[in-house]
Chain A
Amino acid sequence: MILYTPLSQEDIFPTANSSYNNRQFISYEGRSVYAEQMEDGSYQLLQLMSTDPQDFLDEKFTPGSILS
């Protein structure tokens, strides 16, 4: 199949919703975070839900960090 279209790849082949199934909001060290459960069962932080700007400077809450 050859496609010639101004639409973006995502419009034609949308990402399957199931690929987001392992993402959830969890509480970590008193803050609400959006995290993805990885294959080994650990959680990787995707987004920190906080209004305190200092939390975003805290290494524990940096996106990509593994929650322990």
Chain B
Amino acid sequence: MNNKNEKKETQQPNEGQENQSGIVQKIQQLGQSNVAQAPDSNVHVLTIIGQIEGHVQLPPQNKTTKYEHLLPQLIAIEQNPKIEGLVILLNTVGGDVEAGLALSEMIASMSKPTVSIVLGGGHSIGVPIAVAANHSFIAPTATMTIHPVRLTGLVIGVPQTFEYLDKMQERVIDFVVNHSNIKEEKFKELMFAKGNLTRDIGTNVVGTNAVDYGLIDGIGGVKEAMQKVNELIDKNKDMDEQVIQ
């Protein structure tokens, strides 16, 4: 508010100077003076980065994706008639199982076309999120670590906790098997493989292998994902028209 008044008062003598300082400020902020402008997009982008944060708030050094931020956004995307498709960008190290499953179920139950791209890494609980989309892509250099669900901290009632964890793992496996082309046996084999990870059981699946196993639908990046989402949007529109007729 104050700034505006000041601007008005000093507009004429300082106009040139102010213009220049505006550019300087922009360069300080962005490292460049101009940013491209474009019309409204019918495809929205959801980035899932760092840790998937669930019931426990993580220390601030961690980069996290908070599921309570994403769930309402997914509803908003579903409801907004101007948004026709969704691209999900994944570069995550995993995190809370139930938060990850919540996101996966939300994405899987959307009526609008969804396409996911795994960039860098889509580890652990990132796997169900990646396969939750209608079509999934993985960058050739990206990896997905598949390993059993684990727990750290104090455990009260070992057999019960073990059973609980086992059920939780079963939910993850079921979700992945139901939403991708991988066979349950193959996924479990990857999950419990020995000798692949230095201090753990599991497998680090690289881009092309993930596609070979049927876990991910294709190798690709932005271009392929945008092509696919537009193709799915067109298909959706055709279906709607048929229903109307």
Contacts and interface: CB of A to CB of B under 8 A. Distances in A.
Interface of A: 10, 14-15, 17, 20, 23, 32, 49, 51-54, 57, 59, 62-65, 68
Contact of B29 (A10, A32, A64): A64
Interface of B: 3, 26, 28-30, 35-41, 43-46, 59-61, 69, 73, 76-77, 86
7 contacts: A53-B41, A53-B44, A57-B36, A59-B26, A63-B29, A64-B28, A64-B29
A54 B47 CA distance: 14
B27 to A, nearest CB: 11
B41 A62 contact: no
B60 A51 contact: no
Interface of B is mostly: mixed
B59 A17 contact: yes
A23 B64 CA distance: 14
Contacts of A57: 35-38
A9 B231 CA distance: 48
Contacts of A49: 69, 73
Contact of A51 (B38, B40, B45): B45
Contact of A32 (B35, B59, B69): B69
B88 to A, nearest CB: 10
A24 to B, nearest CB: 11
B77 A51 contact: yes
Contact of A15 (B38, B39, B40, B61): B61
Nearest to B3: A68
Contacts of A14: 61
Contact of A62 (B29, B45, B86): B29
A51 B29 contact: no
B220 to A, nearest CB: 18
Nearest to B1: A68
Nearest to A44: B29
Contacts of A23: 60
B60 A53 contact: no
A1 B221 CA distance: 48
